[in-house]
Amino acid sequence: MPITINAGQRIFKLDTPNTSYICAVSDEPGYLGHVYYGTRIVDEDVTYLLRTAENPYVPSQNRRDKLSFMDCYPFEYPAHGTGDFRECALKVRTEEGYTACELHYAGYSLEDSVSGPMPGVYGENGQVLTIELKDECLGLKVLLKYTVFDDCDAIIRHTEIISTGMTLYLERALSASFDMDNDGCELITLNGTWARERHIDRKPIAHGFQGVYSGRGETSHQHQPFLGIVSKDCTYISGEAIGVNLIYSGNFYAGVYEGQFDNLRIMTGINPEDFEWKLGAGESFTTPQTALVYSKEGLGGMSRAFHDLYRNHLIRSTWKDKARPILINNWEATYFDFNEEKLLAIAKEAADSGIEMLVMDDGWFGRRNDDNSSLGDWFVNEDKLKGGLKKLVDGVNALGLKFGIWFEPEMISPDSDLYRAHPDWAIAVPGRTAGLARNQYVLDISRKEVRDHVFKVLSDILDNANIEYVKWDMNRPLSDLASLELPADRQKELSHRYVLGVYELQGRLMERYPGLLLENCSGGGARYDAGMLCYSPQIWCSDDTDAIERLMIQEGTALVYPLSTMGAHVSDCPNHTVGRVTPFETRGYVALAGTFGYELDITRIPAQDRAMIPGQVKMYHMYHELVAAGDYYRIASYSENRLYDSWMCVKKDKSGALLTFIQVMGRANCHSRRIKLQGLDPGKTYRIYRFDMESVSEQPYGPEKAYRGDTLMNAGIIINSLWGDYKGILLHIISEGS
């Protein structure tokens, strides 16, 4: 089994197929310390790594210098106020204002099933270890939860905090913390802004605090709840990497603290800024889960571990393992200027080209002719859709297409019937004019009456017509935080209660409509996180659909999240965000690394581009399973070399692979490139075929001969120089006998 417990020595060892995670309890007074996280080892007793034998300040032997011990011991879940002056995971305040907390080991329990509440992991082939810590003075119980599966290299942690006596206030309640030595480690974070989300940022770790956070009420365009702690020599194929990813969709905190003895403390959880949670006697608080992975195969091994975890144990949608319908969204085609005739014209042309779904985006409801009104008024604008929604949907279905629709359920416009009826439903501080963004306010989703109203209007629309897909958007962050329903000593609970309200709403939606394909979105990629993946198997990756910009956005996203979750479309040129013109063929290759769809007016694009769509549709159906379920390998990074980009998807049984190569910059007097493949079976024999868009078929690439896998991975293949910028090539590598 994955978890081994030495009850006598109080050692806890968690094993995945390739890694081990060990924590243990020190001698009296019984502190839980982090011992080891890395390559799987056989020995369980490696407690010498706690360094207590070399430390003369162990409290049981030398209480006069207890604080010196506390400030260097590798606590598994450090608390505030009793001598550990580093960043803490837990800070508790009493009604008298005291904040000292000291946690001692109190016991453990073990479960052989994994079925916690959403958002969170699930699965039958796992175990959950609970280690109980107590502060007797506070009447506080802290349950550290560790989940391990026997089929993936991940440790999932979260914490339950219980007051058994007095009223307490949690000022800081992180999901996980652990300490490790710093052997010249570097820190990787994913940062950006709107239309430039999740760019990879790498830097050496220095003394003090380094990290990222969000205080926007959502994951944010600016930062991801992810940390990569990597060896200096770490690449995509070698070196050590630890990845930490919070399974949460709100304000987060993810950081590394290097202390005076050059050791590191890695922490993640809910952002303590503007957070507080009141615990009455007998009440509990549960933190979000966080996923930890370790890889000695560099960043590539880390990514594949995250992908396997999320595909197999996090995503729950009935669409999890299905090919997603190829959709066309009318947003960049029409923006707000459309009617029933225009949508049906797009649908007819799309159906003739093999596209499978029409998605009607913003502008179909209330008096929504621009972004200045009507959010909250979820009734059909019959000036645009004469005869109503069902008539349009039936018309689209008659053409052979599925139908999808856009909502922004969490928002409310000042110019709306809903706001005029319920101005108190908007988040705002009484007596203060709340700030607008995109001329809209945020509904207080923490309130049950608001959630019930939103669910009713959503279900009324979905019950009225055959709608098979919903794009759930959120186009502004939270600010001016106040809820009229919460008392003064609970106002700082609003941000977290808001996220829990969103989870409840989406959970109710999926329970009522289990076959619905839900895609989350937040002004593009501002809510791209593992919490949302529990409800939607795909998330809109970025509003920037330019193929070249997407190379960096999708590389950073794929560092943590499976390709099957990345909403990616072929859009028109010049691109609406950056103005770049790229070949239609290349746009298809880049979008193939995601869910694949179209964001354009198919009735107006150049004839040669439109003629290519049936071939791209066939390309998607040929390769989508390999892309969605295969192991991901990064071959080259445009963000590093500024010339070209390349990645592979390899079948689990290594019988086939798909290589994508994008030449971003053509260069004069430049010969071919040699590319070394990854992930193949060294002993298998493979043949290589190029997908030819003109004939929509596979043609032999290079000499018609077979190559052993070890040759392709060590000697490599030749990619001939492509004529011009922004050109791409797609190669299918197939093992003989497959």
Structure-token pair, residue 56? 């003369």
Burial of residue 233 (CB within 10 Å: 0-12, 13-18, 19+) is exposed
Select from 268, 248, 273, 245 the least CA-distant residue to 257. 268
**Residue ranges of E strands in 486-640:** 517-520, 538-540, 566-567, 570-571, 597-599, 631-636
Q: How far apart are CA 224 and CA 213, in angstroms?
A: 8
What b-and-e string marks burial along 270-292, b requiring 16 or more CB atoms within 10 Å of the CB? bbbebbbbbbeeeeebbbbbbbb
Containing H/E element for 186? strand 186-191
Are 555 and 563 in contact by the 8 Å Cβ rule? The answer is no
Cis-peptide, bond into residue 574, ω within 30° of zero: yes
Q: How many CB atoms lie within 10 A of CB 426?
A: 22
Backbone phi, psi, residue 93, to 5°: -120, 135
**Which residue is catalytic, options 543, 544, 601, 609?**
543
- How many angstroms separate the CA atoms of 660 and 648, rounded? 6
CA separation for the pair 661, 680 (Å, rounded): 17
The Cα-based distances of 396 to 268, 326, 393, 602 in angstroms read 46, 15, 5, 15
Q: SS3 letters for 397-433?
A: HHCCCEEEEEECCCEECCCCHHHHHCHHHECCCCCCC
CA 638 to chain centre: 22
Q: How far apart are CA 302 and CA 226, in angstroms?
A: 12
Give the whole-angstrom CA distance, residue 269 versus residue 212. Answer: 11
Q: What are phi and psi of 612, to 5 degrees?
A: -85, -15
Residue 665: count other Cβ atoms within 10 Å of its Cβ.
Answer: 14
Residue 268's nearest CA partner among 196, 184, 187, 201 is 187
**Amino acid (1-letter code) at residue 282:** G
Element (H, E) at 239: none
Q: What are phi and psi of 362, to 5 degrees?
A: -55, 140
Q: Which 8-state DSSP code applies to residue 560?
A: T
Other C-beta atoms closer than 10 Å to the C-beta of 395 total 18
In order of 304, 393, 397, 625, 714, the CA distances from 236 in angstroms are: 11, 46, 45, 23, 15
Q: From the candidates 473, 529, 546, 631, which is the catalytic residue?
A: 473
Burial class for 420, CB neighbours closer than 10 Å (0-12, 13-18, 19+): exposed
Amino acid at 717: I
Q: Tell me whether residue 473 is one of the annotated catalytic residues.
A: yes
Residues whose CB falls within 8 Å of the CB of residue 326, separated by 6 or more in sequence, listed in order: 354, 355, 356, 357, 596, 597, 598, 617, 620
Half-sphere exposure of 507 (CA within 13 A, CB side): 13
Query: What's the distance, CA 254 to chain centroid?
Result: 14
Q: How far apart are CA 322 and CA 207, in angstroms?
A: 47
Respond yes or no: is residue 543 known to be catalytic. Answer: yes
Work out the burial of residue 160: count CB atoms within 10 Å of its CB; fewer than 13 is exposed, 13-18 middle, 19 or more buried.
middle
Q: Are strands 538-540 and 517-520 parallel, antiparallel or unpaired?
A: parallel
Cβ neighbours of 674 (radius 10 Å): 10
Catalytic residues: 473, 543
